[in-house]
Structure 1
Amino acid sequence: AGAGRPRVAVLAEYDALPGIGHACGHNVIAATAVGAFLAAAGLVGDIDGSVELIGTPAEEGGGGKEIIARAGGFDEVDAVVMLHPAGLEVAEHPWLGVRTVDVAYHGLPAHASAWPFLGRNALDAVVQAYTGIAALRQHLLPTDRVHGVITDGGQKPNIVPERAAATFYLRSAEPETLAELVERATAVFTAAATATGTRVELGWDPTPVYMPVRNNRALAARWAANVATRGRRSLPAGVIPGTLTGSTDLGNVSVRVPSIHPMLAIAPPTVTIHQPEFAEWAAGERADAGCVDGAIGLALTALDYLTDADLRGAASAEFEAAGGVLDLDAVVG
């Protein structure tokens, strides 16, 4: 809606979680985004600039926003606004970058009772790797996270496993520290192969890398002011520990254009995302009220950006001071 630049994009996520539905509240994200777009679209004709609604599927591991970005979906966008439902009101919060690695070990099969000395146990290698990662955690930065699951442990107990595999997520708060974490984890995976006489195969990034979110404080402050008119007071930055966080592909957008990703309370603080109870709250009356408040907050923030040259300048200056547009290929390597 509207015409030309500046242009604000409102992002609508809408995918659900297997088995527990909207336990991440993407239904609320989509509803607030659509509402914000419709509200802003009704007014943008009287001002210079435009507002755009972009549907962004596959946030839950698929990297949909990165795929849209690579296709040029944000090339003509000057700022991005969206929100995430939660149990607290937070205007800006750290979100970690994350890389995925599929780790497969290849050994030699043998009869586990009669001829075990002829085999090389791929499952032992996975166990060594898992244990090595567990030992590594003690020496990681407080904001680093590594977690994984074993996806293949062999076929039968009386066969030395010829193949075993695991998948790990590696998270960190900065692109540079994420790169260092990748190096350290790779050393663990390689050492496990050496110790067990197996061969390791590392499959990095089966889905796009998620970058840490670069919160734009100028825009986040305006969001906080706007949503306060709906009786919602955002907690100051830092009140919620930065270690209580996850990852989102909004990070990949935030290193391309100034972006915000505030949290909107639709549940009690004790109810966290990605569990069934949150899905119940995401379908309740408090979520309905949140959709209205969130849509108004996003719409006002988008309109403020279009009409306030000082806000645009502050958001742009902050973005450039943080490093400007990030070359993701150079960072990931």
Structure 2
Amino acid sequence: MSLILLTGGAGYIGSHTAIVLQQAGFDVIALDNLCNSSAESLLRVAQITGKAVPLINADIRDEAALRQVFAEYPISAVVHFAGLKAVGESTQLPLKYYDFNVAGTVTLCRVMADAGVKQLVFSSSATVYGAAAEVPITEASPRSATNPYGQSKLMVEYILQDLAAADPSWRITLLRYFNPVGAHPSGLIGEDPNGMPNNLMPFISQVAVGKRPHLSVFGSDYDTVDGTGVRDYIHVMDLARGHLQALKYLQQHSGIEAVNLGTGQGYSVLQMVEAFVQENQVPVPYQLSPRRSGDVALCYADPTKAAALLGWRAEHSLADMVRDAWRWQQQNPDGYHSV
């Protein structure tokens, strides 16, 4: 039985991935400093799967704590979610983002190498493509970044590529997420942002549940179907399954591969709002606002490589995404603080 370490395992994507891995027969442990997550998420994972997820409350920048974890547990692979992820905050606090996301990953990899654990799935992002000139975006599309968050993900990709080149025994997958949304269909776990949401779906959900007066739609004059920005939204359970497939792939293949995880279908902000309203029969008032700097009109994936390499395709519909997001929000109006 393989034991998988999930860094940032109490977070949104980490907790959903814990469910998928446990249901596939893996044992998992989570390491999380809980700076933007809740230990409650893992208690609920145990409710869903019937299997506890041990939580180590530690920071990936704490080398001594990491060394103790690898000494205590027979870890065979790491899925690395831990990091900061707010684009706006990253422009205000770039050093904090480079410290957590870049320096933290370097520390993790050094400890992994010393422990002889060289299988790594890295939580990357479509932000590494910057303002892509063409869509759909393939893994061969040029990389750049328009903010420190994206830059930190891109830096880590370069570091891991150099690591794999220097030591061919490493097995690394870079998973470039597009826009994760939704929640586990039980409604027990979901996206629980601190303060003002940075992502569209929790914002829509919080307006629908009455926590916020209206949704601000940034930019209504893009060259898109209705003038609002178009993104590739992917159900978090599909995304979690992508990590399972990546781990299975690493068991058979060395080297490093980058893989897009998206549906290949773009939806505009207003299409997402309309889908939410129609599926859940709840109003979502919104206001059109000026564009935000750094936002692009169109961003969606070419998921061909994920199908070919990992045998993975997104299976959940847009209706599934908005329905599951609303179930989580209704059952947990204040997120994990609802308990």
RCO comparison, higher one (Cα < 8 Å, 6+)? 1
Q: TM-score, normalised by structure 1?
A: 0.33
TM-score, normalised by the number of residues in structure 2 = 0.33
